[in-house]
Structure 1
């Protein structure tokens, strides 16, 4: 019987986790949980975009706000590129709007981290069930 890429358990879990990080909900799509993937995608992306709308792109600050940036980076690798753009200094952030924007974008990232862990755990449980069958 030919081996599939799902037979290598560690590789399979890594692919699910990376896809879930690259595209919020992507890991669940790979697991054929389309509705859950769509809900995750819409929720995480809208929360992140609301944070950007409230605080501007300048709230993604890898230098002066490292803890916030670490949480924001859990959204997707796109945050890394947005951070590079905001380093130009053309996007000043002042006052409450910046703080609220950081909170929204960071919460979106931490929510996506929970979804990544859930996708990996679900893939692990399914592979255990398939091994028993």
Structure 2
């Protein structure tokens, strides 16, 4: 797929930290319960760490207990869905539709959400812009 944001591998390596690069560009995963936004309840918008595209609103975030930030719905047309058969299972990878960066996976496992979906997203893939600037850290 052609993305609006196109950068060479070298440019991504210069822009991102080694850990960010491993997750966003190489589809890695941060360790469970270590991410900055796992338990965050700040009101705001979560954007792609690589390109800044708004992806999720905080009112769709919930505590699933899975170890990563969970959302039940992305903003419209911001996510690309890719079948992922690694690790011997069938999953759906989610990427930023603007730059192709790996964000995490989506699971249709309910959790009592309005959509029945759980977008399990790596904190390191996100940047939170708080609605109240006083909440910025």
Q: TM-score, normalised by structure 1?
A: 0.25
Higher relative CO (Cα under 8 Å, sequence separation at least 6) belongs to 1
Structure with greater strand share of residues: 2
Structure of higher CA gyration radius:
1
